[in-house]
Amino acid sequence: MKKVDYLLELINNKTSLKKLTGDNKKTYKYIITGIFINIINGQDHEYFQKDLYSKAEYILATSKGGCQMTTEGLAKISRAVKKSMEQNFFNDIEDYDTTTKVISFFRNKLNEVKVGKTLFQVVEISEILNIGSFMERRGTPYIHKHHWLEFSFESGLTHTTPVFILLGDLKIHWNNFLTLTTDYIMYQSKLVPHISQHEFDQIHEIRNIRHAYSGLYRTMVFTAVTFVETYLIEVFINIKELYPEEQVKNKALSNEGNITDEEIIKKIIYKIFPDIKSKINKDFQTYKEILNYRNRYVHSSIYKEEHSNLSKLQYLLDYDANTVKKYLTACINMVKLIDDSLPKEMQSLYWWNRIEIPDFYANKESALLSTVIQYKKLSNYGL
């Protein structure tokens, strides 16, 4: 938060900017624009960013007595930032007023960060730069005005989608589940030859392990269903935004607040992209089975089911590892098959090959971080 306050002071109209006039002010605004460019590229920590901070502070510090930078020195800074603006797809580079627009946008984002708001929609930044080209260079091939970006000093502008976050959560739960079941099997192999299975399962630590991985069964199913639901809502919104003519043809597209995931698949995806039906039918049937169980979780009670003599509580106890593996695999397969079958501008899983996708039947942990970015390890620091 100190960095935010520092930057807000640098672009304060009533203090910092008010002190400056003429070439000093013009150059200063280009410096701030350069600082903004480095931040949205995730380069706030680089040496050249520190140089821009120093130049901004220098101009402010010497403004009262007349800046000691030469006219050519000031012009050199402005030219360098203009070149950077061009390289980063800014609009109206030769229009000095563009720096005013950049600073205004920058100020708004910093004030939002102060109150915990880091996400904003693409349309907000479209006036000052070609955000599609900018994000394509950063690895997001298709970005649309209704999509969300995160403003981050660490990472720059990042396309943020809940589908990516939920898949990460699912991998975390899966890794924890594997750790617990591995521990259970290891203890079992050591003790059960000497004691009965019943006695083993009554050991305090073993009961804790069983309760924990039993809870993770349910957590993973909930997360997987939410992952699918979130993806389908994203498809629903993308269709509405990118194909407005479909709203005239398909009444289901007007049911934004009431539509279910099954309805999105049957009434929208199957109608507009009929070839998808045969590709996902097997996984979709499994998914409907998952929903049946998940809904009983949500509405669990001590009542009996009307069509059977089963307690509704039974569904809280019935999961086993093979069933969960089947369910999780179906959820991930169905989402990927749908995405691969959509038109290119609709595909949102462009990041799929940059991370490790869990293979639940392989019984191995899944890496949580990107597979294409090299991170330093504690061993690099002697730990």
Residues 144, 180 within the same domain: no
| pLDDT for the residue numbered 299 | 47
Residues 85, 32 within the same domain: yes
Please tell me the distance from the alpha carbon of residue 381 to that of residue 269, in angstroms, as a whole number.
51
Residues 212, 357 within the same domain: yes
- pLDDT tens digits, residue range 144-176? 999 999 999 999 999 999 999 999 999 999 999
Residues 149, 195 within the same domain: no
Listed residues 132, 159, 186: the one ending a domain:
159
Q: If DSSP codes are grouped into helix, strand and coil, which group holds residue 258?
A: coil
> What domain range includes position 102?
2-159
Q: Which residue stretches of 268-354 are H helix?
A: 270-272, 276-298, 321-341
Listed residues 139, 159, 179: the one ending a domain:
159
| pLDDT for the residue numbered 311 | 45
Residues 200, 61 within the same domain: no
| pLDDT for the residue numbered 233 | 93
Is residue 309's pLDDT more than 70? no
Residues 199, 299 within the same domain: yes
- pLDDT tens digits, residue range 291-306? 887 776 654 444 444 5
Residues 127, 207 within the same domain: no
Residues 130, 246 within the same domain: no
Give percent above pLDDT 90 in the chain: 64
Is residue 314's pLDDT more than 60? no
> Greatest CA span in the chain, whole angstroms?
89
| pLDDT for the residue numbered 313 | 43
- pLDDT tens digits, residue range 15-55? 888 888 888 899 999 999 999 999 999 999 999 999 999 99
| pLDDT for the residue numbered 337 | 97
| Average pLDDT score over residue span 268-293 | 93
| pLDDT for the residue numbered 316 | 43
Is residue 131's pLDDT more than 70? yes
Listed residues 125, 159, 193: the one ending a domain:
159
Residues 122, 236 within the same domain: no
The kind and range of the H/E element at 74 are helix 71-87
- pLDDT tens digits, residue range 320-355? 778 889 999 999 999 999 999 999 999 999 999 999
Residues 168, 145 within the same domain: no
| pLDDT for the residue numbered 327 | 92
Residues 150, 242 within the same domain: no
Residues 364, 262 within the same domain: yes
Q: How many domains does the chain have?
A: 2
| pLDDT for the residue numbered 340 | 97
Please tell me the distance from the alpha carbon of residue 358 to that of residue 345, in angstroms, as a whole number.
26
